[in-house]
Chain A
Amino acid sequence: GAGVSQSPSNKVTEKGKDVELRCDPISGHTALYWYRQSLGQGLEFLIYFQGNSAPDKSGLPSDRFSAERTGGSVSTLTIQRTQQEDSAVYLCASSPRQGATNEKLFFGSGTQLSVL
Chain B
Amino acid sequence: DAKTTQPNSMESNEEEPVHLPCNHSTISGTDYIHWYRQLPSQGPEYVIHGLTSNVNNRMASLAIAEDRKSSTLILHRATLRDAAVYYCILRDPPGNQFYFGTGTSLTVIP
| Chain A interface residues (CB < 8 Å from chain B) | 4, 33, 35, 41-43, 45, 48, 55-56, 59, 91, 93, 98-110
Contact = CB atoms under 8 A, between A and B. Distances in A.
Contact of B101 (A42, A56, A108): A42
Chain B's interface size range is 20 to 34
Interface residue SS majority, chain B: loop
A105 B95 contact: no
Contacts, number: 55
Interface residue SS majority, chain A: loop
B103 A103 contact: no
Contacts of B102: 41-42
A105 B99 contact: no
A67 to B, nearest CB: 14
Contacts of B45: 106-107
Contacts of B41: 109
Contacts of A110: 43
Interface in B90-107: 93-95, 97-103
Contacts of A101: 32, 51, 93
B97 A99 contact: no
